[in-house]
Amino acid sequence: MSVREVEREAIASLVDFNSEQFAEWIGHGFLAFERGESDDRPFGPVQQFLGVYEDISDDIAAAYVVLPTSTQISFRKGLALAVARLTFADTLSILAGTRMLETGAKVGAIELLPYLRGAILSKPHLKHVEYGQSLLATAQTLALDLSNQHPEAYEELLRVTGSIIFPTAYASRGLLSLCRADPERLEDSLDHLRDKLHAQLVERTDIASELLQKGRIALFRAVAEIVNEAVVAEAFARYSFPRSTDDESLGWWAAAVFDYSSDPNLNSWMRTYRRKLQPLVSNLGADERDSEFKSDFVGESLLALAAQTAAQVNEIGVTA
């Protein structure tokens, strides 16, 4: 008998499980596992396969693969129910929950999404308790990954990234997820994450400015690989030459481009869209330079950015 045949025989009793039964099986199993109750055979028929892989979540995911498609759906729903029923009020619950989320990531349990927001991501106190930070990080990563599979992925991602506890450290990843979900809405995505992106890519004082610069460049290039060139150009033109102080927090967008002005690919891109940039440089100077806009410190800074940008455009030899 092959290993796969042994696996099929071992989990035969799971085939007819409904979501409620799976919720009980998964919930009990992971809690017992974290308590170290190895003699309790918490996962019943698949207990013999525990330890085959480095992590228990891999063992359970391997059992999931053998299940029929209809049973896999019940498994994922049961996993979501098991997570929803955890209190996350103690270390055991937090550790078991983290394991469940890791399993969910490996089986693509999109059914977890509403429970991630309701049971975990709505509990900011978790970052202050033992292992809670790890749980939140796993939940944030899973929420971003699963949202891209959702029929309404972009709206789902807006909900996830718009959470009050969505961490600044995930802002760049959130932007890329939004771009993958709807590349045409790059400007909306930038607006949605403007404050967190600014905090991550500009304001941090615990990272050397050179590393922040590299991070801005890397993000811009990653966006440019996902989003249509024309859409990137429109967003680039808007946020390189802000029309109001409201756009000031996206100044990193322009800096990311010009910080890497020696890149021949960038020169080609800018050459293609130079006509979009030059009128904005000229208009900003003509329309705003003699107004109250200039007297405002932020406004003056933006005018200086426009002037500097115009000089850099010419310096790198961009031609129409």
pLDDT at 251 over 50: yes
Helices and strands: H and E segment counts in the chain: 17, 0
Mean pLDDT (whole number) for 254-283: 53
The one-letter amino acid code at 302 reads L
Is there a contact between 88 and 135 (Cβ–Cβ < 8 Å)?
yes
The verdict on 179 and 319 lying in the same domain is: yes
pLDDT at 182 over 50: yes
Check: pTM over 0.85? Answer yes or no: no
The verdict on 116 and 201 lying in the same domain is: no
pLDDT-derived band of residue 164, with 50, 70 and 90 as boundaries? confident
pLDDT at 23 over 90: yes
The tokens describing 183, both together, are: 């590349």
Residue from 262, 243, 239, 263 nearest 252 by CA? 239
pLDDT at 314 over 50: no
Distance CA 23, CA 41 (A): 16
Distance CA 49, CA 39 (A): 14
The verdict on 156 and 173 lying in the same domain is: no
- Residue ending a domain, choose from 166, 187, 202: 166
Q: DSSP code of 132?
A: H
The verdict on 127 and 198 lying in the same domain is: no
Exposure b/e, 249-286, CB count within 10 A at least 16 = b: bbbbbbbbbbbbeeeeebeebbeebeebbbebbeebbe
The one-letter amino acid code at 84 reads A
The verdict on 155 and 250 lying in the same domain is: no
Distance CA 99, CA 23 (A): 14
Q: What is the pLDDT of residue 248?
A: 55
Distance CA 235, CA 185 (A): 10
The verdict on 185 and 160 lying in the same domain is: no
- Residue ending a domain, choose from 166, 191, 220: 166
Structural domain for 291, as ranges: 167-320
Distance CA 139, CA 112 (A): 10
Predicted confidence (pLDDT) per residue in 39-87, tens digit: 556 787 676 666 667 788 988 998 898 889 999 999 999 999 999 999 8
Distance CA 193, CA 283 (A): 27
- Residue ending a domain, choose from 139, 166, 193: 166
Residue from 197, 317, 177, 313 nearest 253 by CA? 197
The verdict on 18 and 160 lying in the same domain is: yes
pLDDT at 31 over 60: yes
Q: What is the mean pLDDT of the chain?
A: 76
The verdict on 317 and 182 lying in the same domain is: yes
Residue from 113, 49, 47, 44 nearest 77 by CA? 113
The tokens describing 77, both together, are: 């729903």
Distance CA 69, CA 75 (A): 10
Distance CA 242, CA 82 (A): 48
Distance CA 303, CA 319 (A): 23
Is there a contact between 60 and 116 (Cβ–Cβ < 8 Å)?
no
The verdict on 52 and 152 lying in the same domain is: yes
Residue from 287, 285, 286, 292 nearest 308 by CA? 285
The verdict on 214 and 72 lying in the same domain is: no
Q: What is the pLDDT of residue 166?
A: 85
pLDDT at 281 over 70: no
Is there a contact between 288 and 303 (Cβ–Cβ < 8 Å)?
yes
Q: What is the pLDDT of residue 255?
A: 64
Mean pLDDT (whole number) for 111-138: 84
Is there a contact between 112 and 146 (Cβ–Cβ < 8 Å)?
yes
Is there a contact between 11 and 62 (Cβ–Cβ < 8 Å)?
no
The verdict on 152 and 173 lying in the same domain is: no
The verdict on 8 and 157 lying in the same domain is: yes
Q: How many domains does the chain have?
A: 2
Mean pLDDT (whole number) for 123-134: 84
